[in-house]
Amino acid sequence: MLPLLSKQESTLVTVLANPVLMVKNVKSRKRGVAAESIVAAHPADKHAAEAWDEGECKRILGQLWNLRGKMLAYEASLAPYLGNASLSYKASARNFAHYLSLRQSDMRSLQEWLARNGLSSLGHSEAHVLANLDKVLGILHRLTSQPWQTHSGDEPVGIHSSGTLLEKHTADLLGVAPKERAVRIMVTLPSEAARDYGFIRRLVKSGMDIARINCAHDGSSEWKAMGDNVRRAALAERRPVRILMDLGGPKLRTGPLGLGRSVLKLKPLRDEFGKMLVPARLGLRVAGSTQPVANAHLHAGADAKWLAQLREGDVLECADARDANRSLVVVQQDSSGVIVECDKTTYLLPETPLKRRRKGSGPRTGVLTDLPCRERELHLKRGGTLRLTRKLMETSLPLRQGTQGHEAAIITCTLPAIFDQVCVGERIWFDDGRIGGVIRRVESDWLEVEITHARDDGESLGGDKGINLPDSQLDLPALTEKDIQDLLVVAKEADMVGLSFVQNEKDIATLRACLKDLGSPKLGIVLKIETRRAFENLPELIFSAMANEVAGVMIARGDLAVECGYERLAEVQEEILWAAEAAHMPVIWATQVLETLAKTGLPSRAEITDAAMGQRAECVMLNKGAHILEAIRTLNDILGRMQTHQTKKRPLLRALRAWTLSGDVGNVG
């Protein structure tokens, strides 16, 4: 058992916990009575008692009244924004204005004084800024024996009503929360979701609350099929499931490089000593067939007559792509095809002949077909040069160049409009920030980039990889012609639409106008904050989104990390969370949540902690992967546990049974 408080300590706690006694103490100091009795048990905290000087309290009161006046004045200055807010967001828009005013000054010294004296430091006041400030003012007025009357008429929301507003806005956008947790789980659907109803049902049964359809992939017929499967599965499992459809937006990516040579690599599995554990298994099937051969690791095609002559135990000899002599042994033969094994790494090309060692009737030599083709790639090193062009040059590309002292590597860009909007000296990133460079030269048809960020042995860059220009002021519409066409399907199939690459209020106004023309003005809008410019314009974007009855924010952390810098990502996502809470607008926590678990089945320790941080949002998004069902179940468990400890960024003082020293050390909770 923990020790009990002494009589002296108990008296001290009673005095410190009672504002009336504190006021009496402040008054007693006027009569020359020292305050040492309050801090006698803890001399090091004497400054805490001295802080209750009436003059100092009045000085702080002056600062707080000045702060309050600035909030109301700032609210008045934003009248055009507030006037455009929908009825659902009227009060939230006013509170958001107060929060923006609060954050215009450095409040840290004021916060320290308030916290030191047992008052709210305003640090958790995002959702009810003016109401929280008025609470502090009222307490200080009473402590200094000054009259106080409530000013609730000025307050757009109270401490309780602000939470109710956020819950309402969240339910309007994301649907009713499941019984087991308050935070919703969103899952990005793979292409197979269009044809595999059973897979969708397993997602719903595992805990998916929202299905995300990425309009940058597949097509309208696949999207409709996915939507039908989601609604059917939700009905079968008796769980409400909503659909978010993300518009593709302007695709700023590298262009195609074409396909390289077909090559098939067979590699056996070995232990740490090089001893073979499992031989490589190649399935040979009739040329043109797509039917898998049971137990095969990889597949290739071959002539039907040649395959028919093979028997178990036959040895096939060849010289592979490196002129290495190799032998492959037939270990299985059935109606689906033949399986051959090899115990050495082998590279096979379409023209590689496989000769059967056994003599007999029929053809002894066969040639492989249907080998996989890998897309060509550029190999880039630090100090090298990359040329980004408007259109593919007719001459052959120097695919292995780009290193210092060699001819520049060349690749195209899917958005030629950027060539007129970038400047020398600006940074450029490729493939989610794996490769970085600086623009050194700008011409009408191409940009010259010096590679500044890559691993020591270089990086490979292929086609259809993302490009980020964090320093450039790009004037690109968030809605492309394709997006406007896609909205015809989105308006019918989705419960909400994700606006990709949103940068200013015009983008939101354009989307709302399109939805109105399509007869869906109440469709929920999700602002995908994925560029540096979107983050810098966040207040404007939130106010503009408030014109819609239903709206939310998605923190696209992958692109944000590249745009704002990985070292700033934690800071940036915190600021977005604060702003959204002040606007009572739901947040979707997205990108790479439990990604290793979803792809490999084994989570990293860091991503478990990251997933737990998602509790401060209203929804957490998972991307597709082979182990997505396990990822959903894990996230469901994490969020359910964390909601008893934290709501938004405010810790909850749930009883910690794990630390109860009652002798029962086995009860860990």
**Mean pLDDT of the 174-178 span:** 95
Beta bridge partners of 269: 278
Distance CA(249)–CA(526), nearest Å, equals: 13
What interhelical angle do 197-206 and 220-237 show, nearest 10? Answer: 50
Q: Which tops the pLDDT comparison, 14 or 519?
A: 519
Distance CA(366)–CA(25), nearest Å, equals: 100
With a pLDDT cut of 70, the percent of the chain lying above it is 87
Split at pLDDT 50, 70, 90, the class of 517 is very high
- pLDDT of 644 reads 79
- pLDDT of 144 reads 87
151 pLDDT higher than 50: yes
- pLDDT of 648 reads 73
- pLDDT of 401 reads 44
16 pLDDT higher than 50: no
**Region label for 274, one of left (φ > 0), alpha (ψ between -120 and 50) or beta (otherwise):** left
Distance CA(142)–CA(138), nearest Å, equals: 6
Split at pLDDT 50, 70, 90, the class of 655 is low
State the Cα angle at 148 between 146 and 149, rounded to 5°.
165
Max CA distance (Å), the chain = 120
- pLDDT of 566 reads 87
Predicted TM-score (pTM) of the model is 0.78
Q: Which tops the pLDDT comparison, 74 or 663?
A: 74
652 pLDDT higher than 90: no
- pLDDT of 2 reads 43
- pLDDT of 52 reads 60
**Do 26 and 51 touch, CB atoms closer than 8 A?**
no
* Most confident region among 10-14, 167-171, 407-411 by mean pLDDT: 167-171
Radius of gyration of the chain, Cα coordinates, nearest whole angstrom? 32
Distance CA(131)–CA(155), nearest Å, equals: 6
**Do 74 and 101 touch, CB atoms closer than 8 A?**
yes
All structural domains of the chain:
1-44 (no CATH), 53-157 (no CATH), 167-248+477-651 (3.20.20.60), 261-374 (2.40.33), 376-468 (2.40.33.10)
**Do 518 and 485 touch, CB atoms closer than 8 A?**
no
Structure tokens at 18: 């009672």
Distance CA(626)–CA(499), nearest Å, equals: 27
Alpha-carbon separation of residue 333 from 133, 282, 295, 296, 358 (angstroms): 79, 12, 11, 12, 16
**Do 276 and 268 touch, CB atoms closer than 8 A?**
yes
Split at pLDDT 50, 70, 90, the class of 393 is very low
- pLDDT of 490 reads 97
**Which of 139, 264, 140, 243 minimizes the C-alpha distance to 188?**
243
Print burial letters for 178-188: b (CB count within 10 Å at least 16), e (below 16): beebebbbbbb
- pLDDT of 662 reads 46
390 pLDDT higher than 90: no
pLDDT tens for residues 397-452? Answer: 444 444 444 467 999 998 988 999 999 999 999 998 999 999 999 998 999 999 99
With a pLDDT cut of 90, the percent of the chain lying above it is 67
Q: Give the 3-state secondary structure percentages of the chain, helix then strand then coil, rounded to 5.
A: 40, 20, 40
Instruction: Scan for tokens 């450039």, then name that residue.
Output: 472
- pLDDT of 657 reads 64
- How many alpha carbons fall within 13 Å on the CB side of residue 248? 18
148 pLDDT higher than 80: yes
10 Å Cβ neighbour count for 252? 17
State the Cα angle at 362 between 357 and 367, rounded to 5°.
65
Split at pLDDT 50, 70, 90, the class of 53 is confident
- The residue type of 624 is K
pLDDT tens for residues 293-310? Answer: 988 889 999 999 999 999
Distance CA(374)–CA(262), nearest Å, equals: 7
pLDDT tens for residues 213-236? Answer: 999 999 999 999 999 999 999 999
- pLDDT of 38 reads 38
pLDDT tens for residues 106-121? Answer: 999 999 999 988 899 8
**Mean pLDDT of the 560-564 span:** 91
- pLDDT of 237 reads 96
Alpha-carbon separation of residue 477 from 197, 251, 409, 504 (angstroms): 36, 11, 30, 9
Distance CA(259)–CA(267), nearest Å, equals: 23
Beta bridge partners of 439: 449
Distance CA(61)–CA(59), nearest Å, equals: 5
Average pLDDT over the chain, rounded to an integer = 87
What interhelical angle do 129-143 and 90-102 show, nearest 10? Answer: 60
- pLDDT of 477 reads 87
- The residue type of 74 is Y
Split at pLDDT 50, 70, 90, the class of 89 is very high
- Please enumerate in sequence order all residues whose Cβ is within 8 A of that of 572, keeping only pairs 6 or more positions apart, or say none: 535, 560, 564
pLDDT tens for residues 481-502? Answer: 999 999 999 999 999 999 999 9
Distance CA(166)–CA(164), nearest Å, equals: 6
Beta bridge partners of 403: none
Distance CA(414)–CA(418), nearest Å, equals: 10
Distance CA(650)–CA(615), nearest Å, equals: 11
Helix runs in 18-152, H state only: 19-30, 36-39, 46-50, 54-77, 79-84, 90-102, 108-116, 129-143
34 pLDDT higher than 60: no
- pLDDT of 9 reads 46
Which stretch of 2-16, 66-80, 601-615 has the lowest confidence by average pLDDT? 2-16
478 pLDDT higher than 80: yes
Strands (E), 290-423: 298-302, 315-319, 325-334, 337-342, 346-348, 353-356, 365-367, 373-375, 378-380, 385-389, 409-412
**Which of 528, 384, 373 minimizes the C-alpha distance to 461?**
384
- pLDDT of 375 reads 79
571 phi and psi angles, rounded to 5 deg:
-65, -45
- pLDDT of 43 reads 52
- Please enumerate in sequence order all residues whose Cβ is within 8 A of that of 270, keeping only pairs 6 or more positions apart, or say none: 276, 277
- pLDDT of 653 reads 57
Judging by beta carbons within 10 Å of its beta carbon (0-12, 13-18, 19+), is residue 391 exposed, middle or buried? exposed
DSSP codes joined into one string, 245-278: EE------BBPP--EEEE-EEE--EE-TTS-EEE
